[in-house]
Structure 1
């Protein structure tokens, strides 16, 4: 089989999962090195910065003479060497950064493959004005849609110099024998405020476009290899496939791809992703939200770049950054399409950062969840009790997301001693209340916690009461009122009770739904919501073996009809905490929030007899 046939076959295959290979010991992404043996007398002439073709001296013949196989092999990523500083992150043990050595143990590894037609390598050389020494650089880039069929996207720190773009670069061939040719970059487009390889917010602007000359046969790159579509980065959390060409730890000099998950880079208008094997040379490489492997194109929502040149932080290869593709990105894209060089002042005003709920390392410490409309605006909110006793309120946006968080209680012993809690309308105020059961057996209603906080409240039971045996509680509308004033209790001996009309005067009326039994001792998690639209709410139970059951139309007369939602030994055995509430625009309490054992937190919107569409709120650690 020829190389071209093998490449065509590789593109027609579906995306593979990364192979399990043992990476080389982590080292910094290399800094620029001088090209071997200096500049030959027959090398290209003209300026090494600005518009590469400004005086017409940089030709295909020049590129072929200069870019010998040895020089292409020696080119390195222009990102700076690793430095020890790291991005700002929330302080405290619970909010510790997840980039410790253990974080690399369970993550994807970049898989070598023959490449994608529209993605390739940039080879560029520049001259250091202080030493007059040449530096040979290598980055990754992708052809993107443009009216002239002649634009590539890469990182801002890759722009400048005399450069050629080689789509689907094949190291086995010389420059003149590449499967899809090569294209000189005549003009670079970068935001004038960008500063190379910084660890400051201005690194949010680490993106660039290159305008390509036609090939020697007169064809534009997009007409030969196709072009990908550029989309706004929709959120911090995205599933992407990173593609690029590492220049180190890659003896074959082949492309790599890595399907992975993005999350926020705290304090920056950037996202980050974990994948082993993303060494220097992948700078500028695209992050696809969708790839057509047969056509060799897709939808791009990010590119390697940003903080510290897009990676290389703390001497690891597995943490990679990308700027958010927002307003400034698309302004530059328009300028590149129109062949305009515009100035946008001298300082960078960082846009308001999209809200992030944090990462899986943080959320693995979320011990209890309670849904409710705590702020009184009709939008579902979430209260979290953390393992250190801190309590926070996450305000909902009414569209299945959250807009911010507020501390209700500092870390401490009081809330460490909470066994179970639930949100409901027990006191008749403007916002939801909390009903809290302490390990000691004390029970309190905390009215309108969104405005009044979580201190004080109304005591319903003293310490030492039978309520120390209330292992699981959940509030709901179980057929006795229009408000969430009923309380379902699973006791330590397996008994199940329904308390109707619970309020500030007491627990209302108790209805025994099940006598003590061994089966319900295994009801590990219990919550309630209106999943079927009937008169009464449903009870949702995750059993200790991973099975999930829904009991429809729970009420004083019984738990209702049981419907199995997940079998035993399912992934739901990793469900650590869950709560149901009304979080999206339909205003119905049918949205299920789940915190998994690895810290990933998901919302299953519009859950019915089966689980609704899953949306990730927090990426796993």
Structure 2
């Protein structure tokens, strides 16, 4: 019933009722219920529709065009009808104009917009929608993975199969009227370009701290992870945005559980990165050449009970140094911001106060540093409590650089838990931003610039 109106009988609906004939489904999708397996990529169907007294449905109300695509990135209009009165008291369609991105591990898209409760399954994802002309290209429909959403079944995340060859073949079968019983397909082959790190979001939720750096001396970054059980793991980068097999630096242990925050730099000037650790008790340690020496006791940089217990965020960078990453940016618990230069083993170098204690910088939730502007000297990136993301380009001992916003307050980005930047790709710049989200999803934004995020790649899927 096009433009369905609540409580009206079919005869009183604006366009009447059009009877459904045959229903064409891919025979690899479950006959009953749904699946979260690879076959959830096939969560679509086509139906034949009989005319009513007003004519054929497409002639009476207009029609959208079925459209295949190889891209997961679109701007779409999604229209749906939540079924329950508690979710949709007016019993009217909802609409959202929203960008899409890939759901990695599947041939599916995802979008974020609230209000898409039960009943919206099958809602079209329309590219180039023209409400006046009633035209547009249908590039997807709410469905896939867990019945159109994630495991938590939240209303603000929805998925859609990508319309590719499988959808086109099924459309052709319906259009040619071969009969639903004659739809037969060979075994489904899922995509092979999935996440590049082992483990699911359930695993990566336990990544307590993450640091990027050239720990192996290869000229590109590796990913070092400290887990909640004290295990420490190194994922060597391959220089092309991927990772080689993991290397365990420490088995689970009680000694490395009380890590508060970490960062990585070449403080010893050996062309191999070192790990700086701030412990819960205020102690600071530097572990040199981790790739070669592993994680021994390290060099104590500050004793237990020191003022460093108030160092809420630390980020190594090359703000002042000419060659090696030997500078340390610190955001203190009172909002003060300090830059320490010429940091080395056993020596915290010289401190430059960039911000006096203040309430604004208490909201600087996450810090990282990199070459987002493309310069040799690094820039400071800040994620604020509001989810806003800013770069400070040209930051030096004399003060913060010019503020360059990437985006303003953003609900999604309030769920970013860890932020680190490395040189994981081949452009020679430390500008590949990695985010670990609250659901365990871990994302790389390749070649991030000072005003925009780079190409988004999921490197570990959500829980």
Given candidates 368, 386, 389, the residue that maps to 1:527 is 368
Aligned equivalents of 1:277 and 1:327: distance in 2?
28
Match among 296, 300, 309 for residue 456 of structure 1: 296
SS at match of 1:328: helix
* Residue among 69, 77, 80 paired with 1:244: 80
Residues 233, 301 of structure 1: 8 Å contact kept:
no
Measured at CA, do residues 352 and 595 of structure 1 come closer, stay the same or move farther in structure 2, by a change above 3 Å? closer
Alignment check: 8 A CA contact 1:181 1:215 kept:
yes
Counterpart CA distance in 2 for 1:314 and 1:590 is: 32
Deviation at 1:209, TM superposition (A): 1.7
User: Following superposition of structure 1 onto structure 2, how do residues 53-92 of structure 1 map, counting pairs within 5 Å?
Assistant: none
Note the C-alpha offset of 1:295.
3.9
Offset of residue 283 of structure 1: 3.7
- What are the Cα deviations for residues 64-111 of structure 1, in whole angstroms up to 9, with x where unaligned? xxxxxxxxxxxxxxxxxxxxxxxxxxxxxxxxxxxxxxxxxxxxxxxx
**Residue in 1 that maps onto 2:342:** 500
Distance 1:457 1:334, change over 3 A: farther
Q: Deviations over 1:541-567 (max 9, x none)?
A: 678999988665455xx244543457x
Q: Which runs of 5+ in 1 are unaligned?
A: 1-165
Contact 1:422 1:475 in 2 (8 A): yes
Structure 2 SS opposite 1:194 = coil
- Specify which of 369, 372, 382 is matched with residue 213 of structure 2: 372
Q: Is 1:311–1:319's contact at 8 Å kept on the other side of the alignment?
A: yes
Shift of 1:196: 1.8
Give the match for residue 514 of structure 1: 353
Q: What runs of 5+ residues in structure 2 fail to find an aligned partner? A: none
1:447 maps to: 289
Aligned to 2:62: 225
Find the residue that maps to 2:117 and give its secondary structure.
coil
Tell whether the 8 Å contact from 1:198 to 1:307 is kept in structure 2 after alignment. no
Q: Deviations over 1:457-491 (max 9, x none)?
A: 75354854968457243222245443434444567
Matches within 5 A, 1:371-390: 371-373=212-214, 382-385=223-226, 389=230
Residue 418 of structure 1: how far off its partner (Å): 2.0
Alpha-carbon separation, structure 2, partners of 1:402 and 1:363: 17
Is the 1:495–1:520 contact (alpha carbons within 8 Å) kept by the matching residues of 2? no
Residues 298-352 of structure 1, C-alpha deviations (whole Å, 9 max, x = no match): 454542445676589999989876545455334434544565655323x445444
Structure 1 Cα separation of the partners of residues 272 and 91 of structure 2: 60
- Kindly report which structure 2 residues correspond to 1:89-488, keeping only aligned pairs within 5 A, or say none: 166-170=1-5, 175=10, 179-180=14-15, 183=18, 185=20, 187-200=22-35, 201=37, 202-212=39-49, 221=58, 224-232=61-69, 242-245=78-81, 249=85, 254-257=92-95, 278-280=117-119, 282-288=120-126, 291-306=129-144, 322-336=160-174, 343-345=184-186, 347-352=187-192, 354-355=194-195, 367-373=208-214, 382-385=223-226, 389=230, 408=248, 412-426=253-267, 432-440=273-281, 441-445=283-287, 447=289, 449=291, 455-456=295-296, 458-459=298-299, 461=301, 464=304, 468=308, 471=311, 472-488=313-329
Q: CA deviation at 1:611?
A: 5.6
CA contact (8 A) 1:539 1:559 kept: no
Q: Counterpart of 1:475 in 2: which secondary structure? A: strand
Shift of 1:167: 3.4
| RMSD (Å) for aligned C-alpha atoms | 5.7
Report deviation, 1:227: 1.1
Larger Rg: 1
| Distance across 2 between alignment mates of 1:268 and 1:425 | 39
Q: Secondary structure at the match of 2:256?
A: helix
Partners of 1:212 and 1:221 within 8 A in 2: no
Does the aligned pair in 2 maintain the 1:422–1:474 contact within 8 Å? yes
Tell me how far apart the structure 2 counterparts of residues 443 and 205 of structure 1 sit (CA, whole Å).
52
Query: Partners in 2 of 1:460 and 1:230 — Cα distance?
Result: 62
| Contact persistence 1:421–1:435 (CA under 8 A) | yes
TM-score (norm 2): 0.66
In structure 2, relative to structure 1, the CA distance for the partners of 1:299 and 1:363 (3 Å cut) is: farther
**By how many angstroms is 1:510 displaced?**
2.2
**Worse-matched range after superposition: 432-441 or 381-390:** 381-390
What is the CA–CA distance in structure 2 between the aligned matches of 1:480 and 1:578, rounded to whole Å?
Answer: 22
8 A contact 1:391–1:411 mirrored in 2: yes
Moved more, 424-433 or 527-536: 424-433
Q: After TM superposition, give the deviation of residue 189 of structure 1 in Å.
A: 3.1
Q: 1:434 to 1:339 in 2, by over 3 A?
A: farther
Indicate the SS of the match to 1:414.
Answer: coil
Structure 2: how far apart are the matches of 1:387 and 1:343?
A: 48
What secondary structure, in the 3-state scheme, does the structure 1 residue paired with 2:278 have?
strand
Return the TM-score normalized by structure 1: 0.53
Shift of 1:208: 1.5
